[in-house]
Amino acid sequence: MPPDGAATADVAGARAPAVQPAAARPGLFRRVLGALDPLAFVLPLGILVAWTGMYVFEVMPRILLPSPWEVLGTIGEWINPDWARGRPTYFTGTWAVDAMGSAYRALLGFVIGAMAAIALGVWVGWSRTAERFFDPTVQLLRPMPRTALLPFAIIFFGLTDASALFLVIYGVFLQVYVQVVTGVKLVGRDWKRAAAMLGASPRQILWRVVLPGAMPYIFGGLRLGIAYAWTLMILAEMFAVSGGFGYVLWRGYEFMRMDIVLGGMLMLGIFGFLSDRVIVLIARRKLAWAQDIAGNRL
């Protein structure tokens, strides 16, 4: 710190980085390796062993439960047709297109649905009039299973991406909306009073206090929402879209190719997991304050 005399220079540096210099960060590879928790691998390994055991002892017919290495091979053929060893099927080499299509439908739908839910949820949580106008309708729609909207979506939008997007947006919206409304309503009165006595207008209170204060709930809603996005995207792909993980998985079932079904499931699991991790990583940064209070890490 400079001595007290250097007041102006100090003020200019008021937004400078933290007082204590951050420790030098190790390389990316070492950080990822260090972040991996061995305990997290125990249960998946156990499931893999159980699966292998069931295959080896033929607990189920092998046509219904293929081995892990068969599924791995199938995924290889899915990714690269050259690995199909001259037995081409409908899915070989389409992995990249399927992945992009599925991710596009799930993530675009998620972003639109979540943004709509945050906008409307903040409004409803903040304004009693908006709540009276919108909330009863939303609560009426909410108990109806989102999947029940598929026939309606197909008739309205045809066998296109739009059907899938509609379904995903709708499902994500309902999931995130409830959390946003709850979060906005539970922002402490004392924070709002503090902001008001400091001179903030209702609009400034909404943006600077209520929205950040509701963030823990909003992030909770986003995590529920992303899982719903993948779920509904798969449903739409099974029936309304000719491509994507859901399409491949369902055709595999129709041809009794359980190796393809399991491969599709695995891909969905990985993609869903990764998209959720991204939200968690953002939440850890944005909710540093809430983690201070809780003395815990997300």
Binding residues (CB under 8 A) for other proteins: these are 1, 4, 7-8, 10-11, 14-19, 190-191, 193-201, 204, 208-209, 212-213, 215, 288-290, 292-293
Sorted by sequence, the CB contacts under 8 Å of residue 221 that are 6+ apart come out as 114, 117, 175, 176, 177, 178, 179, 180, 183
The least distance separating other proteins from the CB of residue 256, rounded to whole angstroms, comes to: 54
User: What are the structure tokens assigned to 164, written together?
Assistant: 């899938």
- 53: closest CA among 65, 39, 37? 65
Cβ-based nearer residue to other proteins, 65 or 196 = 196
* Contact assessment for residue 217 and residue 186, using Cβ atoms and an 8 Å cutoff: yes
CB nearer other proteins, residue 214 or residue 234: 214
What's the closest the beta carbon of residue 184 comes to other proteins, in angstroms? 15
**Pick 23 or 39: Cβ nearer other proteins:** 23
Q: How far apart are CA 214 and CA 188, in angstroms?
A: 10
Compute φ and ψ for 40, nearest 5 degrees.
Answer: -65, -20
Give the nearest distance from C-beta 196 to other proteins in angstroms: 4
Q: Which amino acid is at 284?
A: R
Q: b/e for 96-118, b at 16 or more Cβ within 10 A? A: eebbebbbebbbbbbeebbebbb
Quick one: 137 or 296, whose CB is closer to other proteins?
A: 296
Q: Among residues 218 and 248, whose Cβ is nearest to other proteins? A: 218
CB closer to other proteins, 208 vs 223: 208
Q: How far is the CB of 208 from other proteins (least distance, A)?
A: 7
Tokens for 189, please give them: 């009165």
Beta-carbon neighbour count of residue 162 at 10 Å? 16
State the nearest-atom distance from the C-beta of 122 to other proteins, in Å. 16
Q: Which of 172, 193, 46, 56 is nearest to 117 (CA)?
A: 172
Report the nearest approach of other proteins to the CB of residue 178 (Å).
23
